[in-house]
Chains A and B, each alone.
Chain A
């Protein structure tokens, strides 16, 4: 049987019996979701990699305590989020990575395919500037709103999974996403941006 067709519960059972290949399959299956969650919390790809590794290692060591009350993915994401919060508390400087747009970030923004060939150089520049300001506004959000917005928009998690990670009910998660969007919008408007004039930033090739 191909290991890709085996569900998580079977892989967990095999990993508990010492089957390292089964756990490696679980890692391969969930590494993207774990990495994104870590990145949402710590803001740096390198730190997110470390946090993700720690999370998988911890999950392996605690595999016997997994009771199957939630899905393995939810359980794993909860461990990841706790690890990320510990990392954030240790470093205490995570937000600087979001706020400061250093040279690498600037390159990333300016090389992104933001608009179609019809865009003028001025439109491209305006789109890049808007994205930088959106990024800055998101980074300046209160931590709970920012975390929830980033997790929700990553596309890897359901609201239930986000709620399990950050230990909040689904209604609270929905409110936080909505409130985060509202605060970012207000921040952009105070900087002179208005929705209709910035639609160029949405245009993708």
Chain B
């Protein structure tokens, strides 16, 4: 229950926020809205402002789009000119049948079909290169050559001249 002070406090607080609203208030608001609206339109609908603004916007958009497209094409282009699929081969001297493991190419799309937006590209996934363990039963190694004798050609001396001693 409110005591005497609380009632006075509430009463005074109510008085502090009570002031009669001007009877012309709504009309003045409407007038301000009318004033604000034409000025707002006049600035942004003038062709002399709109035309250069539109041209500038178009130019900026064109530059941004072209730059994005150029960067994306470079990013997704294959790094090597060769279009052959690289392989990993095992030498034929092995007994086991050599396996050829195809390796996924880094680039998945040719240059002509590159999409301009990098966000729309599917993520590149390179499957791991798996080479199974190879069992080798024998290795054919040619025997080492052992020399029995060394043949040296005879040295032929035609003449030896000895000078007389003094």
Cα–Cα distance between A188 and B7 once the two chains are bound (Å): 13
Q: Are A40 and B17 in contact (CB under 8 A)?
A: yes
| B148: chain A residues within 8 A (beta carbon) | none
Q: Are A135 and B5 in contact (CB under 8 A)?
A: no
Q: Among A20, A43, A134, which residue has its beta carbon within 8 angstroms of that of B8?
A: A134
The A-contacting residues of B in range 67-124, CB under 8 angstroms, are none
Interface string of B26-40 (1 = CB under 8 A from A): 111110111010000
Cα–Cα distance between A131 and B17 once the two chains are bound (Å): 15
How many B residues are at the interface, by size bracket?
20 to 34
In the assembled complex, B154 has its CB within 8 A of some CB on chain A: no
CB distance from A19 to the nearest CB of B (A): 12
In the assembled complex, A28 has its CB within 8 A of some CB on chain B: yes
Q: Are A188 and B32 in contact (CB under 8 A)?
A: no
Interface string of A36-60 (1 = CB under 8 A from B): 1001100101001100110011001
Task: Count residues on chain A whose CB falls below 8 Å from chain B CBs.
Answer: 46
| B163: chain A residues within 8 A (beta carbon) | none
Using a CB–CB distance below 8 Å, which chain A residues touch chain B? 20, 23-24, 27-28, 31-32, 35-36, 39-40, 43, 45, 48-49, 52-53, 56-57, 60-61, 98, 112, 130-131, 134-135, 138, 149-155, 181, 184-185, 188, 193, 195-196, 198-199, 201-202
Q: List 27 A-B contacts (CB under 8 A).
A: A20-B34, A23-B33, A27-B30, A31-B29, A36-B18, A39-B16, A39-B18, A48-B19, A49-B22, A53-B28, A53-B29, A56-B33, A131-B8, A135-B12, A135-B15, A138-B12, A149-B13, A150-B13, A150-B16, A153-B9, A154-B17, A155-B14, A185-B6, A195-B4, A198-B4, A199-B4, A201-B8
Using a CB–CB distance below 8 Å, which chain B residues touch chain A? 3-19, 21-22, 25-30, 32-34, 36
